[in-house]
Amino acid sequence: MVSGARGSLWNHPSPLAVIPSSSRRFKVDRLAVEVYPTRADMGRAAAHAVAKHLRDVIASREHARVVFACAPSQDEVLSDLAGNEGPIVDWAKVTAFHMDEYAGLAPNHPQAFRRYLHDHLLARVKVGAFHALPAEGADSVAVCAGYSALLAEGPIDLICMGIGENGHIAFNEPPVADFDDLVSVKRVKLDEACRQQQVNDGCFSTVAAVPSHALTLTVPVFRAALRLSIHVPGARKARAVHAALEGPIATACPASILRLHPDATLYLDEAAAGDLRR
């Protein structure tokens, strides 16, 4: 699908689109939470909200800067965004980033996050620009500094993201997360729970095959973004969702900091919301 394929329809959702209704909605601190009956419903609703936000930003400033998570939890959202019957976005006016990458993996490696984003979005829509995080570079300090400079060139209008099974956001794991980190991108060691999640997600066959380190955007980047769209499906995420929404705001569950963001929505399916008391 090319960016201009839909002519003058940029300001409207697809006429074929049906936006699902949520099972329930509530707020935790400043964080809006929407729960949907199924994973597909969650993805479709989130995609339409993302598209509307991007259309509004583009109408106001003629350009949008977006960070995308690259994980199976994002499959439905990206599929709806990129699909021919999905919501309409003028992708030529979008600059895309991604939030993390395994240290040492080449961009075309089957498990590279750049490969994931290419296959699920960038091969299907033509964004104005895509800035890849070149984690295969030998000098991680220089790579992190270079990517930090790109991020700092303007506001981040939107981050599409998930929450890990141990409550991580990007690769800000409980042992390394810092809510007031002094850098925007850093190299981190992945903890065992995170590496096990990559196996649970079907991305690697064994924990030993999962890279031990990654480059990641840090928590202050998420705190500073103008809007967060958080997509969390599946029963394996229920414990992390419970900790993020009903536990203390602390680095023991990095996702708990999302409750303080002034413009963020957490999209859940019923399975991911299964441990909540509301």
- Which long-range CB contacts under 8 A does 46-49 form with residues at least 24 apart? 46/76, 46/77, 46/229, 46/231, 46/265, 46/267, 47/76, 47/77, 47/78, 47/80, 47/81, 47/86, 47/87, 48/13, 48/17, 48/19, 48/80, 48/87, 49/229, 49/265
Which one is catalytic: 34, 80, 100, 269?
A: 100
Q: State yes or no: is 269 an active-site residue.
A: no
Q: State yes or no: is 139 an active-site residue.
A: no
Q: State yes or no: is 166 an active-site residue.
A: yes
Which one is catalytic: 48, 53, 168, 261?
A: 168
Which one is catalytic: 41, 80, 173, 270?
A: 173
Indicate the helix (H) or strand (E) that contains 264.
strand 264-269
Which one is catalytic: 80, 166, 231, 242?
A: 166
Using H for helix, E for strand and C for coil, what is the string for 158-195? EEEECCCCCCCECCECCCCCCCCCCCCEEEEECCHHHH
Indicate the helix (H) or strand (E) that contains 59.
helix 39-61
Q: State yes or no: is 85 an active-site residue.
A: no
Please list the active-site residues: 100, 166, 168, 173
